[in-house]
Amino acid sequence: MLSKDTYKIYEEKMHKSIDAVNADFASVRAGRANASVLDRIMVDYYGTPTPVQQIASIASPDPRSLVIQPWDVSAVKAIKKAIETSDLGINPQDDGKSLRLAFPQLTEERRKELVKQIHKYSENGKIAVRNVRRDAIDAFKKKEKASEITEDDRKEAEETLQKLTDDSCKKIDELLAKKEKELMAV
C-alpha cells in the first residue's frame, strides 16, 4: 500500500502545469486593459532582457488603456520597441516620459484568433500533465522491477495517477471555458 505522500510530488507538478496555463491565459487580453498582458514582454535594458514590471510602473487610468511610466526615462524607447515587436498588436503612444497603450475593442476575427491561441495553451498544459503522469508511471515500473513495490501497488499507483491526470485536465478545461467565454463576450 502506497502512502499519499508518494503522489505529492506528481500532484504538485500537475498543479504547476495548471498554474502555467492560467498565467498564459492571463496574458491574453480580453478587450479590457490589464497589466498582466505585459507579463511576457521582455525589454532589452542595458543589454539584459528585463520584464517591463521591473523597470516601470504600470497604471490603468481607464478600462481601455494602460500607462507605462519607466523609472529611468531613457528606457522609454526600449519599452516601446519591445511592445511593438511583441504579439500584443498594439502601438504604444510615446510622449517622451511615458507610454500609453490604448486597447481597441476586439474584432470578431481577433477574438477567434485569441480563442485558437488559448486552445493551444490549454493543450500544451494537458500535454505537460500527461508527461508528468508518464514519468510517474515509469518511476513506479522501475520500483516494481527493483522489487521495492508489488505489481498490485504499481497498478494502484497507475489508477491514482490517472485520476490525478483526469482531474488536472478537467481543471484546465474549466479554465479554458471561462477564458473563452470572457473573450467571446462583446
Following CA atoms 132, 135, 136, 138 in sequence, which dihedral angle do they give, to the nearest 10 degrees? 160
- Measure the CA–CA gap between 154 and 150, rounded to whole angstroms: 6
| pLDDT tens over the chain, length 186 residues | 566 677 888 899 999 999 999 888 877 766 667 777 788 888 888 888 888 888 888 888 887 788 989 888 888 888 888 888 887 777 888 888 888 888 777 788 878 888 898 999 999 999 999 999 999 999 889 988 988 888 898 898 899 999 999 999 999 999 999 988 888 876
Would 5-26+107-184 and 35-102 be classified into the same CATH topology?
A: no
| pLDDT value of position 17 | 92
Residue 41: closest CA among 33, 32, 50:
50
130: its cell numbers: 500527461
The domain spans of the chain are: 5-26+107-184, 35-102
Type of residue found at 149: I
Q: Regarding the domain delimited by 5-26+107-184, which CATH topology (the fold level of the hierarchy) does it fall under?
A: Topoisomerase I; Chain A, domain 4 (1.10.132)
Report yes or no on whether pTM surpasses 0.75: no
Q: Regarding the domain delimited by 35-102, which CATH topology (the fold level of the hierarchy) does it fall under?
A: Gyrase A; domain 2 (3.30.1360)
Residue 174: CB atoms within 10 A of its CB come to 11
87: its cell numbers: 504579439
Percentage of residues in the chain with pLDDT exceeding 70? 95
